[in-house]
Amino acid sequence: MHSSQTQRGFKSGPLAWLALLLSVSLVTAACSGDKKPPPRPAVPVLVATVTEKTVPVELKVIGNVEAYSTVSIKSRLAGQLVQVNFKEGQDVKAGDLLFVIDPRPYEAALRQVEANLARDKALATKAQADAGRYAELIRKQFVSQQDYDQAKATAESLGATVNAGQVAVQNARLNLSYCYIKAPISGRTGGLIAHQGNMIKENADTAMLVINQIQPIYVSFAIPEQNLAAVRKFMAAEKIKVEVVIAGQENAPEMGVLSFIDNTVDKTTGTILCKATFTNEAKRLWPGLFVNVVVQLSTQPNAVLVSSQAIQTSQEGQIVFVVKPDLTVEIRSVEVGRSIGGDVIITKGLKPGERVVTDGQLRLVSGAKVEIKTGL
């Protein structure tokens, strides 16, 4: 009897152990279900505050500096260059003597025509006196009409010769003055092409010197044709300010005003040429220099601005992570306008005073806890 019970207990033992294991597993599972997952650590981020301010309405293009005026110096007569009274690259003023062409041949020519004029004046004076005497004699019928007419014609002819001589003297003096070549404008001289001792041709193909006026100076640039109406509108109301920035000198822009709009739109590029005038007091703008041009048309009040680093792109469009007062983040869609320096204008989606994440967005999800840092 005992042996049979033992045999039955041996057969039923494995089932009892299986039941026990199942019970333990259920209890363990039930106990683990009561535990909450550990909270995620706060994500360190940088933030920026949404601001509201008045911002300029601008056009940004590339421009090129041009001389206000350029003069190529050429000789108006032939001769040997005997003086050069400046150095290459020197600033000169209008009226400064630049070159001297050997004046001696032209001084001799002037003396010759002056002598001819003196001779002709003497002859004309005698002829006029003769004509006066013949006029008195013909009234008394002491001379024939033919003799009187001849004396009168001689006097008139010599009078005309005197007039021609006076013109010749003026022309000779003018040629002599051309020997002294003066600066027609104030500006900066370029490289010297003709040197002292060279024989100079009259109105040669190559200029002796080029002078560029750089005070004031132009900056030329092209704007898209779709902006032409706005530029003309603002230009009619007031002077449009133009700012140019030289590469590497971003902190020291030059200020000028828009002074010229071309009368034709370029069909090939769809742009129109404009020029701005700058006083260039420090002579920082140099002909041929490329610069960044900012045309300041007007201002836009109450613009909502945020750092461009806060803008992220998702499948739904552009978004930002807004930091709520409890230091959790909210994903919000925004509409972005134009850029102003390192900021962008938000046309929809943000209010002034809100804080947005500018760095650390990759680890964020909606509702995530953040820790604001001053630097990462």
- Is 80 in the same domain as 185? yes
End residue of a domain, out of 300, 326, 354:
300
C-alpha to C-alpha distance for 188 and 67, rounded to whole angstroms: 10
Average confidence (pLDDT) over 23-34: 50
Q: pLDDT tens digits, residue range 207-246?
A: 999 999 999 999 999 999 998 998 998 888 888 999 999 9
27 three-state secondary structure: helix
**Does residue 161 register a pLDDT over 70?**
yes
On whether residue 30 sits in a domain, the answer given is no
Count of structural domains, the chain: 4
On whether residue 363 sits in a domain, the answer given is yes
Cα 275 versus chain centre, distance: 8
**Does residue 137 register a pLDDT over 90?**
no
Q: What dihedral angle (degrees, nearest 10) is formed by the CA atoms of 90, 96, 101, 103?
A: -160
What integer pLDDT is reported at residue 100 of this predicted model?
Answer: 97
Which CATH number covers residue 262? 2.40.30.170
What integer pLDDT is reported at residue 5 of this predicted model?
Answer: 45
The dihedrals phi and psi of 167, each to the nearest 5 degrees, come to: -65, -40
Helix or strand run (H / E) with residue 301: strand 290-307
Write the DSSP string, 217-283: EEEEEEEEGGGHHHHHHHHHHSPPEEEEE-TT-TTS-EEEEEEEEEEEEETTTTEEEEEEEE--TT-
Model confidence at 4, pLDDT cuts 50, 70, 90, reads very low
On whether residue 315 sits in a domain, the answer given is yes
Q: pLDDT tens digits, residue range 113-126?
A: 999 999 999 998 88
Average confidence (pLDDT) over 69-88: 95
- Is 146 in the same domain as 84? no
Which CATH number covers residue 97? 2.40.50.100
What integer pLDDT is reported at residue 175 of this predicted model?
Answer: 95
For residues 302 and 343, the answer to whether their CB atoms sit within 8 Å is no
What integer pLDDT is reported at residue 10 of this predicted model?
Answer: 42
- Can you read off the two tokens belonging to residue 268? 């090939």
- Is 236 in the same domain as 195? no
Nearest to 254 by CA among 219, 287, 299: 219
On whether residue 278 sits in a domain, the answer given is yes
On whether residue 126 sits in a domain, the answer given is yes
* Mean pLDDT, the chain, integer: 87
For residues 188 and 89, the answer to whether their CB atoms sit within 8 Å is yes
- Is 220 in the same domain as 273? yes
The dihedrals phi and psi of 326, each to the nearest 5 degrees, come to: -85, 15
pLDDT above 70 as % of the chain: 89
Rg, Å, the chain Cα set: 47
- Is 140 in the same domain as 249? no
The residues pairing with 91 across neighbouring beta strands, listed in sequence order, are 188
- Is 124 in the same domain as 152? yes
**Does residue 63 register a pLDDT over 60?**
yes
For the whole model, what pTM was predicted?
Answer: 0.68
- Is 186 in the same domain as 226? no
**Does residue 313 register a pLDDT over 60?**
yes
Which CATH number covers residue 112? 1.10.287.470
C-alpha to C-alpha distance for 214 and 65, rounded to whole angstroms: 10
**Does residue 191 register a pLDDT over 80?**
yes
- Is 90 in the same domain as 186? yes
On whether residue 36 sits in a domain, the answer given is no
On whether residue 20 sits in a domain, the answer given is no
On whether residue 129 sits in a domain, the answer given is yes
- Is 340 in the same domain as 286? no
What integer pLDDT is reported at residue 11 of this predicted model?
Answer: 46
- Is 221 in the same domain as 295? yes
Model confidence at 23, pLDDT cuts 50, 70, 90, reads low
- Is 267 in the same domain as 357? no
C-alpha to C-alpha distance for 211 and 200, rounded to whole angstroms: 19
Model confidence at 155, pLDDT cuts 50, 70, 90, reads confident
- Between 142-146, 203-207, 320-324, the lowest mean confidence (pLDDT) is in 142-146
Which CATH number covers residue 363? 2.40.420.20
- Is 222 in the same domain as 325? no
Angle formed at CA 63 by CA 58 and CA 65, multiple of 5 degrees = 130
Domain, as residue range, for 234: 59-67+215-300
